[in-house]
Amino acid sequence: MSGFVFSEKPIGIERGEGATLYADDGTEYLDFGASYAVAAVGHCHPRVVDAVKSQAEDLLYVQASYPVEARTTLYEKLATVSPPGLDNVWLCNSGTEANEAAMKFARNATGREKIVATRRGFHGRTLGALAMTWKDKYKKPFEPLAGGIEFVTYGDGEELAEAVDEETAAVFLEPIQGEGGIHPAPPSYLKRARSVTRKAGAALVFDEIQTGVGRTGTLWACDRADVAPDILTTAKGVASGLPLGATVCADWIADADPEHGSTFSGGPVVCAAANATLDVVVEEDLPTHAADVGSYLMESIEAADLPVRDVRGEGLMIGVEVKRGSNRLLRDLALEEGILALPAGRTVLRLLPPLIVEEDHADRMVEALEAVL
């Protein structure tokens, strides 16, 4: 018997270390997808592994009504590293759960229903978050979904301003659209979103599930625009692959006392992994490293005179728009060059390597693209 949701690739992964994955037949693969940005500090980082082992020996789980050191530390750590004014932390198990919580918190705090999201946006696959996700292929089989969602063109400040009114509970934005094709928002657009939501009394929510934890060259992608939201959601790289999401909120959101809960909120083992991951990201200044290596990689791809339409992104969140199907390119990179990457639509190659990759890894990526393109 086998699972029926994922179509498995013909590569069995046995172990990982740093930026490398090892197949069960001994083949080595340079990981330029990091399992959708999850392996932020590399596979099996020693500090993360040690933290998990130590916590597992003491306590595997106790529900969140009972304080435990690992969870309390993570509350404090996330509040410290989050954008200014976000001091209240809700822990869950995934990015889509974090966005579901953000929807509930915003509606509860404002007493309103309407949520503004963007075309090409992606916020998750559960019924609430899915309603804010643009692409029909994700939504159609599961309708009807949550109501009250209005979509606007990503990056169009005027259209956003027209959509946000006294009935709006929240605006949900990815500072860089990931699944939608790696499209960075102009800083002016994020500033406009901050202005119009504040004027309307609506919550500004930044979905940093893929962009956060240093990936785009700053700890949070919204930092480059110097814009702080009312709610920030994060997951993926925050716990190095253990299931953890977080919804971080301003006081006016938390003070409305939302009725919400989760059995597995903030398990000690996953919190220990997150604490160690954040320590590595901050102490080793991986955001700056991501900015430097990301710039080098983008410049190298552009200089290689490859048959590509565009190269865009920030830090180590890069989209390469190609002239043929991205799935075929991914197959060739994996089977012929030993490099794993990701798609972002039918024609965009998505590069999300661990933040620890070096320039020689970037060189290998460019050489592989030259070979398969």
User: Is 73 a known ligand-binding residue?
Assistant: no
Q: Measure the CA–CA gap between 229 and 13, rounded to whole angstroms.
A: 38
User: Is 151 a known ligand-binding residue?
Assistant: no
Counting every residue written for the chain, the total comes to 373
Place of tokens 């690739």: 9
Q: Measure the CA–CA gap between 373 and 137, rounded to whole angstroms.
A: 28
Q: Measure the CA–CA gap between 167 and 105, rounded to whole angstroms.
A: 15
User: Is 96 a known ligand-binding residue?
Assistant: yes
Query: Three-state SS for 122?
Result: coil
User: Is 347 a known ligand-binding residue?
Assistant: no
Output 256-259 pairs: Cβ under 8 A, ≥24 positions apart: 256/105, 256/108, 256/109, 258/104, 258/105, 258/108, 258/109, 259/108
The order of strands in the sheet holding 317-322 is 308-314, 317-322, 348-351, 342-343
User: Is 211 a known ligand-binding residue?
Assistant: no
The 10 Å Cβ neighbour count of residue 142 is 12
Alpha carbon 243 to chain centroid, angstroms? 13
User: Is 122 a known ligand-binding residue?
Assistant: yes
Q: Give Cβ neighbours of residue 58 (< 8 Å, ≥ 6 apart).
A: 268
User: Is 207 a known ligand-binding residue?
Assistant: yes
Q: Count Cα neighbours of 259 within 13 Å in the Cβ-side half-sphere.
A: 0
User: Is 95 a known ligand-binding residue?
Assistant: yes
**321 class by beta-carbon count within 10 Å (0-12 exposed, 13-18 middle, 19+ buried):** middle
Annotated binding site for substrate: 125, 262
Annotated binding site: 95-96, 122, 125, 207-210, 262-263
Annotated binding site for pyridoxal 5'-phosphate: 95-96, 122, 207-210, 263
